Amino acid sequence: MKFDKAAGENTLFDNAEVVGRPTHRVDGPLKVTGTAPYAYERHDVAEGQLYGYPLGSAIGHGRIVSMDAEAARNSPGVRAVVTTLEIDPLEKGMNNVARLFGGAEVQHYHQAIAVVVADSFEQARAAASLIEVEYEKGDPEDYDLGAAFERLQGSGEMDTDTGDVESALSGAAVMLDEMYHTPSHSHMAMEPHASVVDWSDGDRMTVWTSNQMINWNHGSLATTFGLDKEKIRVESPYIGGGFGGKLWLRADAVLAALGSRAAGAPVKVALPRPMIMNNTTHRSETVQRIRMAAGEDGKLTGIWHEAASHTLPDGRGENATAQTPYFYASEAIRTKHHTVSMSLPESADMRAPGEASGLMALEIAMDEMAEKLGMDPVAFRKLNDTQVNPSNPDQRFSDRHFVECLERGAATFGWADRNTAPGATRDGQWLIGHGVAGAYRGALVLPSGARALLEGGKLVVETDMTDIGTGSYTILAQTAAETMGLTLDDIEMRMGNSAFPVSSGSGGQFGAASSSAGVYAACMALRARIAEELGVEEPEFREGRVIAGNTNRALSELEGEIDAVDSIEWGDFQDEYQMATFGAHFVEVGVHAGTGETRVRRMLAVCDSGRILNPVTARSQVIGGMTMAVGAALSEDMALDSGRGMFANHDLAGYEVAVHADIPEQEVIFLDTLDPVASPLKAKGVGELGVCGVAAAVANAVYNATGVRVRDYPVTLDKLIGGLPPLG
């Protein structure tokens, strides 16, 4: 199905009975009873599974001179040891920047350099520690991103350059010029990267893994091992969190494959928690400079956002300026992202790549500008809203209700009654503050396919789409039920398998909109097939029946199997529009006047992201994003050891994500919006919008509480105590 013009009025989904209804996730019972099969627990899929345990490099970069695995090979229960020196450097799969295995070169700390395969996990782990490695360390490197930014700023061709930013800034009535910093962030999904691989015969390979993108993974495995794609099957039906950390092939699957070939048996490998930070990918640290100009009336006249992030050579880093060309109206906008090559673990995508870090800075800058202008920060944002892409004014937004988000949020939160003077509201020893921030995240869509199969009135839908905890099983079942006039009980979803039609996969918040359209396309194709079978024209499908003229049959009465495969293709007409999702976040914090401890007291998100396919799972996405952002605002920080070129706090005790006690009442409001350009369902994603802007709302609330402006995340107490008012 080609989506080549905006969805019309009164489509199937505008009168929906299943889509859009609050529905608990269909896979919930499996998850809460511990019976959903996650990769490492696929005990039943292949006989005689062995355990693989990885060894990570002990240096940040350099070369391996020699490895002695003799003791490990002779250790009890050990079946095979594969060291990196025995294997030629493996080809890199799609979007892999660091090499995953093979050869003597070490590009980053905890790079996989060996796998030990044994009868038990404990035996493999004990043996891995017996491998002796001699290294030659690389030359010391400079990991100072701030210094790199100083050197690079202003250089190169700008990414966006609309209007005359320099004169806007020089002649401005009100001007801001500040530096911001966000540290590196780790995805830290609950489920570590894990795979079971059967490549016993060195020919056909089956991979049971935890991966967001089946098709990309499939292709990368083929490239990495020089195999024909036909010889590989990939399954990933359940994923315990991804956040972008499982978009690509990673070392778990590679080591399990090599171990399996060496041992001649299926092998499972999970990356131990301490390796997640330095072996897998992370969101790069960013250094950002924002300059803004405005007239006395509060209208922005110029924005110059320049940023830097680190990456291994040829990587993309974290483009913190991603939102700036589009979010606020301004005649002059200039942006530039500099990537800085550093021998650190690979930086890559993490939930809302670009916008998440960019808005952490931009939305503080907006707060600062509002204050300079003497304006309410909500009013200032409303004033600078735009319905067209400011860097390309001929392009309209397909559907944008940012102002409504701010207005609904302000009214619901009680913004009018907030603390206005920094440091002026107290509750015992706690200083109380309120903050707001805007949220912006692009609404990308990708082609997505599915197969729909009707048998005895039951509908089976097969697609390689994944559910990374987001609720895809549920929203796709809802979409199928709606399209076929069935109920949820009539639908069986089969997902996450390379044997099924290729979908969008899960990432970049493109999954929900793309894959629901793909399932819709497949079901429409099935409807056409059924019409053909019955020899009727344009039948209606409702209440389990197919109705056309004199024909009125229950789907369950149709004989045999009828199936159809289709996928959604996206038409060029979408390029005429800028498609994005919007939100406003409101936060109340308490900051302890003595210790500077910050505790979030209230959070509200208002989201504009098109049709909400399921308010229950969508809300979970948004509150999950808000929770992640509280961590980013207040505690998450991959502590860089600049002498060693590694992240030192590499476990969940050292890398502090928000815990239950950090998260207060969270309220989420979805505006009742529809975006006919975005998809046939008029839906857009929401999973990444929830993390955007929230951290800045927290930082702004801390400023409002204390009068201390922190532009260097996380906003920890050591950055506050110097400026807190005397204890009273």
Partner 1 sequence: MRAFSYEKVSDPAQAAARAAEVEGAKFLAGGTNLLDLMKLEIERPAHVIDVNGLGLDEITETDEGGLRIGALVTNTALSADARIRRDYPVLTRAIAAGASGQLRNKATTGGNLLQRTRCPYFYDTAQPCNKRAPGSGCAALSEGAFSRQLGVIGTSDACIATHPSDMAVGMRVLDAMVETVTPEGMTRTIPLEEFHLLPGDTPEQESALMPGELITAVTLPAPVGGEQKYHKVRDRASYAFALVSVALIRQPDGTGRVALGGVAPKPWRSAAADAELPNGAAAVMAELLGGARPTEENAFKITLAERTLAAMLAEE
Residues designated as active site: 688
Q: Select 127 or 340, whichever has its Cβ closest to partner 1.
A: 127
Q: Rounded distance, CA 359 to CA 441, Å? A: 10
Told to check if 643 binds partner 1 by CB under 8 A, we report yes
As a residue count, the chain comes to: 728
Candidates 573, 586, 587; CA nearest to 678 is 573
Burial of 91 (0-12, 13-18, 19+ CB in 10 A): middle
- Preceding amide of 37 cis, omega within 30: no
| Binding test (CB under 8 A) with partner 1, winner from 387, 392, 412, 642 | 642
Stretch that binds partner 1, among 42-50, 296-304, 403-411, 586-594 (CB under 8 A): 586-594
| Binding test (CB under 8 A) with partner 1, winner from 136, 576, 641, 672 | 641
| Binding test (CB under 8 A) with partner 1, winner from 259, 596, 625, 685 | 596
| Binding test (CB under 8 A) with partner 1, winner from 76, 202, 313, 571 | 76
Q: Compute the Cα dihedral for 686, 689, 695, 696 and give only its sign.
A: negative
Told to check if 716 binds partner 1 by CB under 8 A, we report yes
| Binding test (CB under 8 A) with partner 1, winner from 104, 158, 528, 717 | 717
Question: Is residue 477 within a helix (H) or strand (E), and if so which, with residue range?
Answer: helix 472-484
Min dist. Cβ of residue 129 to partner 1 (A): 5
Q: Rounded distance, CA 333 to CA 502, Å? A: 39
Between β-strands 286-294 and 62-68, what pairing exists: parallel, antiparallel or unpaired? unpaired
**How many binding residues for partner 1 (CB under 8 A)?**
47
Min dist. Cβ of residue 238 to partner 1 (A): 25
Between β-strands 396-397 and 577-578, what pairing exists: parallel, antiparallel or unpaired? parallel
x-or-dash pattern for partner 1, window 261-290, by CB under 8 A? -------------x----------------
Min dist. Cβ of residue 143 to partner 1 (A): 8
x-or-dash pattern for partner 1, window 427-456, by CB under 8 A? -xx---------------------------
Q: Rounded distance, CA 367 to CA 353, Å? A: 22
In a 3-state reduction of DSSP, which class is residue 653? Answer: coil
Q: Compute the Cα dihedral for 665, 420, 726, 698 and give only its sign.
A: positive
Q: Select 532 or 651, whichever has its Cβ closest to partner 1.
A: 651
Min dist. Cβ of residue 691 to partner 1 (A): 18
| Binding test (CB under 8 A) with partner 1, winner from 654, 671, 674, 707 | 654
| Binding test (CB under 8 A) with partner 1, winner from 158, 565, 639, 671 | 639
Radius of gyration over every alpha carbon of the chain, rounded to an integer in angstroms: 27
Told to check if 644 binds partner 1 by CB under 8 A, we report yes
DSSP codes, 70-93: HHHHTSTTEEEEEEGGGSPPPPP-
Q: Select 255 or 459, whichever has its Cβ closest to partner 1.
A: 255
Told to check if 718 binds partner 1 by CB under 8 A, we report yes
Q: Using an 8 Å Cβ cutoff, are 326 and 390 in contact?
A: yes
Q: Select 92 or 273, whichever has its Cβ closest to partner 1.
A: 273
| Binding test (CB under 8 A) with partner 1, winner from 563, 656, 674, 707 | 656
Q: Cα 185–189–190 angle (5° rounding)?
A: 140
Min dist. Cβ of residue 56 to partner 1 (A): 8
In a 3-state reduction of DSSP, which class is residue 168? Answer: helix
DSSP codes, 298-364: S-EEEEEEEEEEEESTT-----TTTTTTTSS--SEEEEEEEEEE-SSSPB---SSTTHHHHHHHHHH
State the residue for tokens 């060496």. Answer: 262
Q: Using an 8 Å Cβ cutoff, are 52 and 193 in contact?
A: no
x-or-dash pattern for partner 1, window 53-72, by CB under 8 A? ---x-x--------------
Told to check if 594 binds partner 1 by CB under 8 A, we report yes
Q: Which residues of the chain form contacts with partner 1 (CB under 8 A)?
A: 56, 58, 76, 122, 125-126, 129, 143, 274, 428-429, 592-597, 599, 634-635, 639-644, 648-651, 653-654, 656, 658-662, 714, 716-718, 721-722, 724, 727-728
